[in-house]
Amino acid sequence: MKRDQVRSSSGRRTRFAGAKAVLSGALAVSSLALISVGSATAASASAKKITVAFVVGAEADPFFISMNAGAQAEATKLGVNLIWQGNPSQYSPSTQIPIVQQVISQLQSSKPSALVLGPTDPKALQPYVNQAIKAGIPTFNVDSSVANLKKVVSFVTGNNAQGGAAAADALATAMGYKAGKKYNVAVGMTSPTATTNVLRFQGFKAEVAKKYPGIKIVAEAYSQSSPTTANSNIQGWLTKYSQGSSTALNGIFAIDGTNAEGAASALQAAGLACSATSCGSGKVALVGYDAYNTNVALLQQGIFAALIAQDPAKEGMLSVLNAYNFLTHHKVKGIKHLITLPNVTLTPKSPAALLTKYTYQTA
C-alpha cells in the first residue's frame, strides 16, 4: 500500500525537469530552517511527557493536512507533544531525508519519544528508520512504508485495492448496470508508475472481472499530474466514444485528483455530466478519488456519481494512539502490525455530516 514518488491523489509532486533538482535542494534547506520552529507545543514540558514526531511527504497536500488534524486532536487528548514535519510540496526522498535526520536527533534529546514516518521511498528511507530504532526511538509508518517492516512497530494505511473495487461498484450502480448489457468505461490515471494508481486500478479491474462482465475498459490515459492534460485526454475520449455511436462511453473512473478535476470539467463542457436528479442514458457517469472540497461540491451537484475517500485523519489519530500505547506500556502487545483502513464511498445521497467528516481539510 505504499505510495510512490508520484503521490497520486494530486500528483503535485511529479517533477521531471532536471532543473527542478536544483530547486528541491533549495527547498530542503528552507524546510530545515523551519524545523527548529517546529510545531511542538511548548506547554508544560514535564520530564515524562511523551513526544511523537511525524515526518510526512508533502505537508501542504490536503491529505496530509487532514492527517495532521487527526493526529493533533489525539495528541491533545492524550497529552502528547506533537512534532509535525515535512517538505511543503515536494514528495521526494531527497527533501525528506534531511528532515528525518534532524527530527531523529531532536527525538533523542526528548525521550520518551516515537517517530511516525510516511516514507517517500521504501528503500531510500530504510537506513534512517534503522538509525532511529538503533537510537532507541520506536518507529511507526503511516500511509506509505519502508521496504522492511520487521522492526517497525505498526503501519497504518489506506486500502487502495479495496478503494478501486469500491469505485467499480459505485460506477456500476451509477450506470444502472444490468447483466447482459454492454458498458464502455475509460480510466484516467496519473502515470504508469504511481503505485497508488496501480493498486487502485488493479482493484478496479479485479472487481469488474468478478462482478461486471458487461463492463469493458475501452481506454486508459495518463494526466502526468496535470488537470489540463487530463481534460484534453477526456475530451478526446468523449469525441472518440461519442454518444449515439455503438461505442458510446458510459462511465469514467478518475483515479486521482487531477483526473477528477479534468474529467468533471470536460463532461460539463460537453454537456454530458450527470445532475443531482438524473444520470440517464446519453450521460457519462463519473466516479472520482479523493475528497478535496471542490470535488465534494461537484459530488453534491451530482456531477460525480461517487467519490472514493481515504481517511487520513484516522491514519494520523491511530498512529498517535499506537505510539502512546507503546511508550506507556513498553510493549508491542495489543498493537496490530498492519492496520489497513478501508476507503469510503461517498455519494450525493451521503448525509452532510459524513461528507464533512471525510472532506480533506485545507490549511
Q: Footprint of other proteins on this chain (CB under 8 A)?
A: 10-12, 14-17, 19-20, 22-23, 26-27, 58, 60-62, 65, 88-89, 192, 218-219, 221-222, 224-229, 231-233, 235-240, 242, 257-258, 261-262, 264-265, 268-269, 292-294, 297-298, 360, 362-363
Closest distance of CB 220 from other proteins, Å: 8
Pairing assessment for the beta strands 344-346 and 306-309 based on DSSP bridges: antiparallel
**Gap between the Cα atoms of 243 and 264, Å rounded:** 17
Q: Is 53 helix (H, G, I), strand (E, B) or coil?
A: strand
Nearer to other proteins, 183 or 360 (CB): 360
Closest distance of CB 1 from other proteins, Å: 21
Nearer to other proteins, 217 or 339 (CB): 217
CA proximity to 159, closest of 342, 360, 358, 346: 342
Nearer to other proteins, 208 or 303 (CB): 303
Q: Residue 49 pairs with which residues in a beta bridge?
A: none
Given its phi and psi angles, is residue 143 left (phi above 0), alpha (psi -120 to 50 degrees) or beta?
left
Closest distance of CB 235 from other proteins, Å: 4
Q: Which residues contact 29 (CB under 8 A, 6 or more apart)?
A: none
Closest distance of CB 68 from other proteins, Å: 11
**Gap between the Cα atoms of 306 and 87, Å rounded:** 31
Closest distance of CB 271 from other proteins, Å: 8
Nearer to other proteins, 239 or 328 (CB): 239
Nearer to other proteins, 12 or 200 (CB): 12
Nearer to other proteins, 149 or 221 (CB): 221
Closest distance of CB 122 from other proteins, Å: 23
Closest distance of CB 256 from other proteins, Å: 11
Nearer to other proteins, 130 or 235 (CB): 235
**Amino acid letter, residue 324:** Y
What are the strands, taking DSSP E only, across the chain? 51-58, 81-87, 113-117, 139-142, 155-158, 183-189, 215-222, 251-254, 285-289, 306-309, 338-341, 344-346
**Gap between the Cα atoms of 45 and 117, Å rounded:** 24
